[in-house]
Amino acid sequence: MSSDDARADTRDRTSTGTDPVDIGLPPEPVRAAHGASVVEHIRAALDTRTRTLLAHDPGTRSGSDPEDLHRMRVSVRRMRAVLKAGRSWLERDWCRSLRAELGWLGRGLGPVRDLDVQLAGLRREREELDEPERPPATRLIDELAAWRDSARTELLEMMRAERYERLLRSLGEAVHDGPPTASAPPRGSDALYELVRDGVTTIERAVGDLGDPPTDERLHALRIAAKRLRYCAELAVPVFDGGVEEVLAAAEKLQDELGVHQDAVVTEEWLWWLTHGDEQGAEPAPVRDPELVFVAGRLAERARARRVRQREAWWSAWRELRRLEL
């Protein structure tokens, strides 16, 4: 490690974070009144998620707790979802640009988080194997951990860049001054209500288009739709009674069930890649150790069993969401 890299690493590990006021956020959190416009609710959501992002920035840099990175990633996703939901009332180029910059940060956070999830799952699965199978499993996990470390290095470089600082200032400005609007945004609850209804309709269409049997890709797309519905419902919860809260809880349950399925799909893909490489010869090179390949197959078999179970488990969560009336 060079002296510059060493100094940067020390700063990351000892960072105490950015004061919200320093990027332009108001001293006190923004709260949208019950009868406020949709854009004011978006402003309040951006404020909440930006403060969460800042709070977990130091932990993400230090790497002391994977949950910090997870919270940052969720904050980015929620802000992008809220901006997409409100794009009809927001200035188009501004909205598109801010979503693109949040997407840039998300592409840095995502690979690290995804590998954290895979590593945690494989470590649990390793403990279920017979004792002789655990050392080869550890070697597979170590290989994956090396890829995670590489992805984290790239993320930290992004977070040290001026582009990241500009993004934070853009978020602070949007909250302080209010998001620029394309037209007079509707006031009251009707627009928020329609955002939630549109989210439910999107899921209904996605379920209808799944096919029999549904592909892994379409189930993943359904999970993304459930996630977006959840984030829209979070916007509306302060305005409505328990009906939207029930939708929020049902969407979260559906997302979680489909998330277990997707995690199993990705585990199989990683294990195949670690032991076979790909058609383009990308690293890692195919593993030649029969013991390692055998244990990878055992772990993949367990992942496939979870995937098969979840192909049935999510239906109950969907039925629970469908029965709710808005």
**Higher-pLDDT residue of 195, 121:** 121
| Residue 289 and residue 266 share a domain | yes
Q: Would you say residue 2 has pLDDT above 60?
A: no
pLDDT at 226: 95
Residue whose token pair is 């013991």: 291
| Residue 154 and residue 234 share a domain | no
Quick one: the chain helix, strand, coil %, rounded to 5? 75, 0, 20
24: in domain: no
| Residue 218 and residue 174 share a domain | no
Gyration radius (Cα) of the chain, Å: 22
Domain of 151, CATH number, reads: 1.40.20.10
Q: How far apart are CA 7 and CA 30, in angstroms?
A: 36
State how far Cα 276 lies from the chain centre.
28
5: in domain: no
| Residue 158 and residue 236 share a domain | no
pLDDT at 115: 96
State the number of CA atoms in the 13 A half-sphere of 137 facing the CB: 21
| Residue 196 and residue 71 share a domain | no
| Residue 180 and residue 57 share a domain | yes
Mind spelling out the 3-state secondary structure of 176-196? HHCCCECCCCCECCHHHHHHH
pLDDT at 166: 97
**Higher-pLDDT residue of 15, 146:** 146
206: in domain: yes
| Residue 301 and residue 198 share a domain | yes
pLDDT at 288: 67
**Domain C-terminal end among 184, 213, 236:** 184
Range of the domain at 268: 189-326
Q: How confident is the model at residue 220 (pLDDT cuts 50, 70, 90)?
A: very high
pLDDT at 35: 80
**Domain C-terminal end among 184, 200, 231:** 184
**Higher-pLDDT residue of 128, 8:** 128
Least confident of 99-103, 194-198, 302-306: 194-198
pLDDT at 185: 74
Output the six-digit token pair for 114: 């995804």
Return mean pLDDT, the chain: 89
- pLDDT tens-digit readout, 150-174: 999 999 999 999 999 999 999 999 9
In our burial notation (b when 16+ CB lie closer than 10 A, e otherwise), range 180-217 reads: ebeeebeeebebbbbbbeebbebbeebbeeeeeebebe
Output the six-digit token pair for 248: 């929020």
pLDDT at 37: 86
| Residue 276 and residue 246 share a domain | yes
Closest by alpha carbon to 192, among 74, 88, 321, 99? 88
| Residue 112 and residue 97 share a domain | yes
Are 137 and 274 in contact by the 8 Å Cβ rule? The answer is no
1 secondary structure, DSSP code: -
Q: Would you say residue 9 has pLDDT above 70?
A: no
* Number of domains, the chain: 2
Query: How far lies 206's CA from each of 198, 210, 308, in Å?
Result: 12, 6, 20
| Residue 325 and residue 302 share a domain | yes
Q: Would you say residue 6 has pLDDT above 50?
A: no
242: in domain: yes
In our burial notation (b when 16+ CB lie closer than 10 A, e otherwise), range 231-250 reads: bbbbbbbebbeebbebbbbb
Asked whether the whole model's pTM tops 0.75, one would answer yes
Are 267 and 126 in contact by the 8 Å Cβ rule? The answer is no
301: in domain: yes
291: in domain: yes
| Residue 85 and residue 123 share a domain | yes
**Domain C-terminal end among 184, 214, 243:** 184
195: in domain: yes
10: in domain: no
Q: Is 90 helix (H, G, I), strand (E, B) or coil?
A: strand
Q: CB under 8 Å to 139, separation ≥6 — which residues? A: 292
Closest by alpha carbon to 326, among 221, 236, 222? 236
Q: Provide the 10 A C-beta neighbour count for residue 271.
A: 23
| Residue 261 and residue 169 share a domain | no
